[in-house]
Structure 1
Amino acid sequence: MQKRWVLKPKSNSNKVIHLKSELGVNDIVANLLVSREIETFEQAKYFFRPSLDHLHDPFLMKDMSVAISRIEKAIGNKEKILIYGDYDVDGTTAVSVVYSFFRTFHSRIEFYIPDRYAEGYGISTQGIDYAAENGFSLIIALDCGIKAIDKIGYANTKGIDFIIGDHHLPGETIPNAVAVLDPKRVDCEYPYKELSGCGIGFKIIQAFVLKNNMDLETAYQYLDLVAVSIASDIVPITGENRTLTHFGLKKLNTNPSVGFRALIDLSSNRTRTFTVNDIVFQIGPRINAAGRIEHAKDAVRLLISKSEEEAKNFSSAVDDQNNVRKDFDLTITKEALSIIESSSENQRRKSTVLYKSDWHKGVIGIVASRLTEKYYRPTVILTQTNGHIAGSARSVIGFDLYEALSECSDLLDQFGGHKYAAGLTMREENISLFQQKFEDVVQKTIKPEMLQQEVSIDLEIQFKDIDSKLYRILKQFEPFGPQNEAPVFMSKDVRIIGSAYIVGNNHLKLTAVQDGSPAFECIAFGLAEHFDHIQRQLPFDICYTVEENNWRGKKNLQLNIKAIRY
């Protein structure tokens, strides 16, 4: 599929000129910084030189003082504390951080992760009943709870106090808990709003450490877990998240927890430096697989492991679950693609809604993402579970999936999520009605350009602008992620030198030059369809990122081509 090229608006020229003068950098670097709202020397220093001193005072978060006082009271009175969290990477890392910290000086502590299939997302009645039956008087809920009005009310009738640490958008009413920590509360003045759920957990232990005059290193030792949560939960890597990720990656690559060390040993790049991308594709899926296939408590047991032997055993179990997840993923994706490809009507649609009763509920979200990537249109994958139909939905850039599902709410029992991802349930007899109504809504509201993948380009540059100095500065823009993506450049009228090659399944390898500039080796993943054109020595345009290729100890700059046009 040909991608739509979108060149970002030019940065304010006065701001670029001012920053060039202040920093002594060239146009390219100054433009990239201004587009990231970095416009002064101080802001650039903050960006390029992250420091743990940049972390905000956790007591700026509403209810933090109340939360710490309640935890101190529980510890002083030897109450039983239950650390409760969601079953995804963010939830399990959050539970692992808070549980690991407090168990070092409070023995009456346990953790609880709800079962994805029996209990579903968030705080459950079963979880509260478990706490009541086992004598827990305080629950610290992480990465969930901000809308659990009824459940917190139920816990109050059982004499159980709740501290909620969440990062999702609150509803109109805040739960009646002892403390509700969420920077997105309208009455919370905490200066950074985009922390992960695990980030909220970290702020709790940071606050406890500060209140009790402890060494801050006792909190910083968990930054590898925080970095994994930030990367896996796709939150913005800006501001405080960028600082936490920077130092978390340092720990992950130099002195990881024994749980992560065991996972790294199972990964394909255990000898290389881990990046945000590696977390997203290698560590995150393994942790997530536990909750998708068996139970997410296996992931927590791995992450809180104290010995290498213990971690190795749990990592093997988690890796086995990930292999099962991959098999389900591969099989179901293949079946779903076959359904679309065997029907001309399905191919003509502007949406995809597919149902099969035996598809595994734990992977339908992944399958929905894969089909969205393949056909680039709003997608819903449905399966049968516990006597009802459950679905996972994914959208394309610019299309409000939540709003589209709202239009179909008369056919749904429940739905929830946001603009680009959602979950839903319905009765079996409504499947075909929903399939048609969802298609009608999409057809009526989606813009044609939304059905074409886009590549967002930072700047047009010349090959002569690319050198090792530029690359060294670009490296300092890391860690890359949402709202701080690796810069994508465009260069026009380039040609190959010598021959291009198709490598692997569908990739291009070539050497390109532009107007007598230095030649650059290039890799173009999934773009072998352009082989015939460029092999004829015809000019073409490319957009790409600048990378360093390290092959058998030999390093050279390489362009990673994202799209080709002519």
Structure 2
Amino acid sequence: MKKRWVQAVKGKVEITDSLAQQLNIDISLAEILVQRDITSFQEAKDFFRPQLTQLHDPFLMKDMDKAIARIDLALAAGEKIMIYGDYDVDGTTSVALAYSFFSQFTSAIEYYIPDRHKEGYGISTAGIDHAKAQGITLIIALDCGIKSNDKIGYANTLGIDFIICDHHLPGDELPAAVAILDPKRLDCPYPFKELAGCGIGFKLAQAYCLTHHLPAENYERYLDLVMVSIAADIVPINDENRTLAYYGLIKLNTNPCTGLKALMDSCGKNKDFTITDVVFTLAPRINAAGRMDHGNQAVKMLLCTADTLAAEQSLFINLQNTDRKTTDQHITAEALALIDESEILINKKTTVVYNDQWNKGVIGIVASRLTEKYYRPTIVLTLSNGMLTGSARSVPGYDLYEALLSCADLLEQFGGHKFAAGMTIKPENIEAFAERFETVVAATITENLLCPEILIDNEISLAQIDGKFQRILAQMAPFGPVNPAPVFVSHDVFYVGRPYIVGAKHLKLSIKQQNSSIFETIGFGLAEFEQLLKPDQPFSVCYTIEENVWKEQKRLQLNIKAIEINNQSYK
């Protein structure tokens, strides 16, 4: 698929020059900092050397005082408390954090993860009924609840109070909970709006420690869990999230909790983890528990304190992840065949596919794969408890949630954000919904958004890449939304030696420019260029710069994102 190469807009030259001189760095790196709104020495210092003291006061969050007061009341009276969370990575890490933290102060506490297949996403009636049967009088809900008005109302009739710790967009009316911690509330003055659900739980623990003059270690020891949730939920890695992710990675690589350490060992890598490693190795395994069995399995692993039990639990989750891979590959193949047979994509801006036999636990992954292939907003649905349940994925730049709002009258339930969402639909409404969704998206999406782009941070020569350049670049990590790994472009490049294919579809080659050193590269999915590239024929490359670790050896490597020959761009 052809991609658009888009050059990032450069900042003011005088600001860039000044910053490069103050920091004693390459002008190209200074330009990237300015593009990311880092324009002064102090801002650069805060960026490169984040401090936990920079974390915002948790009591700036609306209702934090009410939440702490209600928890204090429960602990003093010996009330039974339930920690309730979703079954994905953000939800299970949130539950593990809150349960472990408050277990220090009471034994009258339990946790609850809804069954994805039987109860679905968010607060469930079954969960509330279970709480009532166990004598629970306070539920702390994490990563869910902000739109569960009817369920919270039901709990209130049973004498059960709720504290909601969520990061999703609220509806028009807030639920009748004792406290609602959500920076996205319109009336919440909290200065950073993009915390993950586990981040909200972290702020609750921080507020409790500040109130009771407890050492910061009591909540900082959960930074690895918070970082995993930030990586998995793909929230912006700037402001407070950057600080949490920065220190969370340090903890993961030096002193992870027992459960995460076992999981790291089980996937064959136990050090030098990056955000990317977390996204592609740890997160899918944690998610597999809720997809294939029950999210409780993930929480159980994350709460392990004994190495042997943690190892056994991580092995079990690894097996679930293997099953998940097989299942999602099978369903993806069926979905692709369905699209081909029915010609769903002809002249359309959306994809909506449905099969009542598909596994509910993996349809989100399938939606992501279809979106990547066809590059348009996509919804994959299956049958669950007499209703259609679906997962939706968007393309960068298009607000999926707003499109679903325009279809709300045809949906029984939906929630999510700009890029991903879940929903429930009555079977008889599926055709009307698919038509409405197509109409709304077609009217609001631009053609540019239907063509993938590569945002190029800067053009550089290969000769600029030296040890100092790479060291400064590495200090811009952790990378993620809002702070992605910088993408560079270099023109008039030649290959040296012979290109060759690895792993069936990946390209390995060495490249150079005039007066530059030779650089090793990898181009994932670019095997076609083994034949397209010719000796002594110049070409252009878009790439990120990274360290490749192989058998304890670290080597500089360019990760090629796209190649252009004769002004023809390829992925």
Q: Does 1:225 align with 2:225?
A: yes
> What residue in structure 2 maps to residue 478 of structure 1?
477
Task: Give how far 1:310 is off.
Answer: 2.0
Report 1:127-206 matches (<5 A).
127-206=127-206
Alignment of 1:198-217 (within 5 A): 198-217=198-217
**Structure 2 match to 1:306:** 305
- Equivalent residue number for residue 509 of structure 1: 508
For residues 53-92 of structure 1, the aligned pairs below 5 Å read 53-92=53-92
Query: Does the CA-based 8 Å contact 1:499-1:535 persist in structure 2?
Result: no
**Distance in 2, Cα, partners of 1:530 & 1:38:** 38
Distance of 1:367 and 1:351 partners within structure 2? 15
**CA apart distance, 1:105:** 2.6
Matches within 5 A, 1:319-398: 319-342=318-341, 346=345, 349-398=348-397
CA distance in 2, matches of 1:149, 1:57: 28
Q: Secondary structure at the match of 1:306?
A: coil
Deviation at residue 46 of structure 1 after TM alignment? 0.8
Task: Give the 3-state SS of the residue equivalent to 2:170 in structure 1.
Answer: coil
The 5 A counterparts of 1:253-292 are: 253-270=253-270, 272-292=271-291
Matched with 1:426 is 425
**Alpha-carbon displacement from aligned partner over 1:340-367 (angstroms, at most 9, x marks no partner):** 3445564664432222221111111100
Distance 2:518 2:376 in 1: 38
Please say if residues 522 and 558 of structure 1, whose CA atoms lie closer than 8 Å, have aligned partners that are also in contact.
yes
Q: Are residues 356 and 287 of structure 1, via their aligned partners in 2, closer, same or farther at CA, if it must alter by over 3 Å?
A: same
**Stretch deviating more after TM superposition (117-126 or 238-247):** 117-126
Match of 2:223, as an amino acid? L
1:535 counterpart SS class: coil
Q: CA deviation at 1:231?
A: 0.6
Cα offset, 1:415, TM superposition: 3.6
Letter in 1 for 2:84: Y
CA contact 2:209–2:215 (8 Å) conserved in 1:
yes
| 457-466 or 116-125, which deviates more | 116-125
Note closer, same or farther for the CA distance 1:306–1:554 as it changes in structure 2 (3 Å cut): closer
Alpha-carbon separation, structure 2, partners of 1:165 and 1:375: 36
2:363–2:391 contact (8 Å) kept in structure 1: yes
Deviation at 1:154, TM superposition (A): 2.1
> Which stretch of structure 1 is more off in the superposition, 525-534 or 147-156?
147-156
| Contact 1:415/1:422 (<8 A) preserved | yes
Against the structure 1 CA distance between its residues 138 and 411, is the aligned structure 2 distance closer, same or farther, given a 3 Å change threshold? Answer: closer
Shift of the 406–53 alpha-carbon distance from structure 1 to 2, 3 Å rule, reads closer
| Partner Cα distance (1:395, 1:184) in 2 | 21
User: What is the aligned partner in structure 2 of residue 487 from structure 1?
Assistant: 486
Structure 1 Cα separation of the partners of residues 274 and 38 of structure 2: 23
* Secondary structure of the structure 2 residue equivalent to 1:500: strand
- Distance in structure 2 (CA, Å) of the matches to 1:435 and 1:152: 31
Match of 1:469 in 2: 468
Q: Distance in 2 between matches of 1:152 and 1:410?
A: 22
Cα separation, 2, equivalents of 1:269 and 1:296: 23
User: Given the superposition, is the C-alpha separation of residues 152 and 355 from structure 1 closer, same or farther in structure 2, using an over 3 Å criterion?
Assistant: closer
Matching of residues 242-253 of structure 1 within 5 Å: 242-253=242-253
RMSD value, Cα: 1.9
Alpha-carbon distance in 2 for matches of 1:335, 1:186: 43
Cα separation, 2, equivalents of 1:420 and 1:130 = 33
Question: Structure 2: any 5+ residue segments left out of the alignment?
Answer: 566-571
Which range moved further: 21-30 or 410-419?
A: 410-419
Give the length in aligned residue pairs. 565
State the match for 2:521 in structure 1: 522
Quick one: distance in 1 between partners of 2:148 and 2:411? 21
Q: Secondary structure at the match of 2:498?
A: coil
| Stretch moving more, 533-542 or 492-501 | 533-542
Distance 2:126 2:96 in 1: 21
> Could you tell me the TM-score, scaled by structure 1's length?
0.95
| Counterparts of 2:106 and 2:410, CA distance in 1 | 49
Q: Give the aligned residue type for 2:294.
A: H
* Structure 2 residue aligned with 1:237: 237
- What is the CA–CA distance in structure 2 between the aligned matches of 1:448 and 1:83, rounded to whole Å? 45
1:383 partner SS? strand
Alpha-carbon shift at residue 280 of structure 1 (Å): 0.8
* SS state at 2:240 partner: helix
CA 1:157 to 1:179, structure 2 compared with 1: closer, same or farther past 3 Å? same
User: Post-superposition shift, 1:403?
Assistant: 4.0
Q: Secondary structure at the match of 1:9?
A: coil
Q: 1:535 maps to which residue? A: 534
Counterpart CA distance in 2 for 1:168 and 1:441 is: 22
Seen in structure 2, the aligned counterparts of structure 1 residues 171 and 402 have a Cα distance that, compared at 3 Å, is closer
Q: Return the offset for 1:481.
A: 0.9
Mapped to 1, the partners of 2:31 and 2:214 lie a distance apart of: 43
Q: Which moved more, 1:325-334 or 1:396-405?
A: 396-405
> Is the alpha carbon distance of 1:408 and 1:84 closer, same or farther for their aligned partners in structure 2, counting shifts above 3 Å?
closer
Identical-pair percentage:
57
Distance 2:174 2:435 in 1: 37
Q: Offset at 1:408? A: 4.6
Take 2:473 and 2:233, find their aligned partners in 1: how far apart are those partners? 24
Structure 2 letter corresponding to 1:391: G
Query: Which residue number corresponds to residue 48 of structure 1?
Result: 48
Distance 1:156 1:385 in 2: 28
Deviation larger for 486-495 or 11-20? 11-20
Q: Is the partner of 1:498 in helix, strand or coil?
A: strand
Which residue identity does 2:197 align to in structure 1?
A: G
SS at match of 1:528: coil
Using a 3 Å threshold, how does the CA distance of structure 1 residues 7 and 280 change in structure 2: closer, same or farther? same
Q: Which runs of 5+ in 1 are unaligned?
A: none
* Inter-CA distance 437–137: structure 2 relative to 1 (3 Å threshold): closer
Q: Write the letter of the residue equivalent to 2:315.
A: S
- Range moving further from structure 2, 352-361 or 341-350: 341-350
Distance 1:233 1:177, change over 3 A: same
Show CA shifts across 1:262-295 (max 9, x none).
111111323x411111111111111111111111
Which piece of structure 1 moves more, 228-237 or 14-23? 14-23
- Secondary structure of 1:497's partner? strand
Q: Is the 8 A contact 1:340 1:347 kept in 2?
A: no
Counterpart contact for 2:494–2:535, Cα < 8 Å: no
- 1:141, 1:164 within 8 Å by CA — same for their partners in 2? yes
Larger RCO of the pair (alpha carbons < 8 Å, separation 6+): 2
Q: SS at the partner of 1:544?
A: strand
Q: Secondary structure at the match of 2:558?
A: strand
CA distance in 1, matches of 2:77, 2:338: 60
CA contact (8 A) 1:341 1:347 kept: no
Distance of 1:172 and 1:350 partners within structure 2? 29
Name the CA distance, whole Å, in 2 between partners of 1:299 and 1:267: 15
Corresponding residue number in structure 2 for 1:100: 100
Letter in 2 for 1:449: N
Whether the 8 Å contact between 1:83 and 1:139 is mirrored in structure 2 is yes
- Give the aligned partner of residue 544 of structure 1: 543
Please give the alpha-carbon distance, in whole angstroms, between the structure 2 residues aligned to 1:55 and 1:346. 47
* 1:31 alignment counterpart: 31
